[in-house]
Amino acid sequence: MKVRIKRFHPDLPLPEHKTEKAAAFDLYARETTEIQPSSVAYIPLNNAIETPEGYFLLVAARSSTHKKGLLLANGIGIVDPDYSGDEDELKAAYYNFTSKPVLVERGERIAQGTFVKIERADWQETKVMGNKTRGGFGTTGK
């Protein structure tokens, strides 16, 4: 799949899949940012990406970010295909859940992205869903 991309600073690498079977590509912090305790900061990811027709870009935290004391503030990022203009740099909103400032260094792999096919629902409303009820959260296997 060919994807158009703009780097805001060409000295940082393009996003890349680090292994042949990696499902997502790594995204790099464009600038060093200090995130204060119990605060959110937006980390610029150095790219504007033209998502292919019929897909959206899913941005997630790398699995190692929690070790720094960071969580993506919105859980995941969903980047719509029409967010692809010349100044539409991707950003990740990180929440510092520690009691100390956390530093994100320029060039650090801080997020990951993957393209997900968009499927539109054709809703079929009903008054009854069926006769099987699981009983709520945490009931699997009981």
Specify the CATH number for the domain of residue 89.
2.70.40.10
- Residue numbers of the domain that contains 60: 26-117
- Number of structural domains in the chain: 1
Residue 83 identity:
Y
Q: How many CB atoms lie within 10 A of CB 86?
A: 7
**What pTM, to 2 d.p., does this model score?**
0.86
pLDDT digits 0-9 by tens, 74-97: 999 999 999 999 999 999 999 999
d(CA 53, CA 34): 36
**Chain segment 8-47, per-residue pLDDT in tens:** 999 999 999 999 999 999 999 999 999 999 999 999 999 9
DSSP code, position 131:
S
Q: Is residue 20 part of a domain?
A: no
Quickly list DSSP for 58-116. EEEE-TTHHHHTEEETTSSEEE-TT--STT---EEEEEE-SSS-EEE-TT-EEEEEEEE
